[in-house]
Amino acid sequence: GIKFELGDILLDPKLAAGNFFGPDIKVKFRTDDTIVSISYIRRSKSQKTCKIKEVYLEDKKILPQEGRYSIARQALDKKEHAIKVFLE
């Protein structure tokens, strides 16, 4: 569920309840000179495929653009960033 488009990070998880062994799934990677940590946090007990409810870059809420959640490369201006993706 993590894709790149012209340096931007696109979030499109295809996670189901069976993918979770705890309350979240964490992924860490490097892009350019920045370390990015993404936490997928499941809030629903549904067995269906999880959908994005909210996304935060640090404490800033990211709004969907044309129905897609993306983080612009320019927003990753520090050495390390945390992204939280709340799923339902």
Check residue 17 and give its pLDDT: 82
pLDDT computed for residue 56 by the predictor: 98
Q: How, if at all, do strands 2-5 and 8-11 pair?
A: antiparallel
- Residue 61: how many other CB atoms lie within 10 Å: 8
pLDDT tens over the chain, length 88 residues:
799 998 899 999 988 888 888 889 999 999 888 999 999 999 877 778 889 999 999 999 999 998 899 999 999 999 999 999 999 8
pLDDT value at residue 41 = 95
31 Cβ contact partners less than 8 Å away, ≥ 6 residues apart: 4, 7, 9, 73, 76
Q: Give the distance, in angstroms, between the CA of residue 72 and the centroid of all CA atoms in the same chain.
A: 13
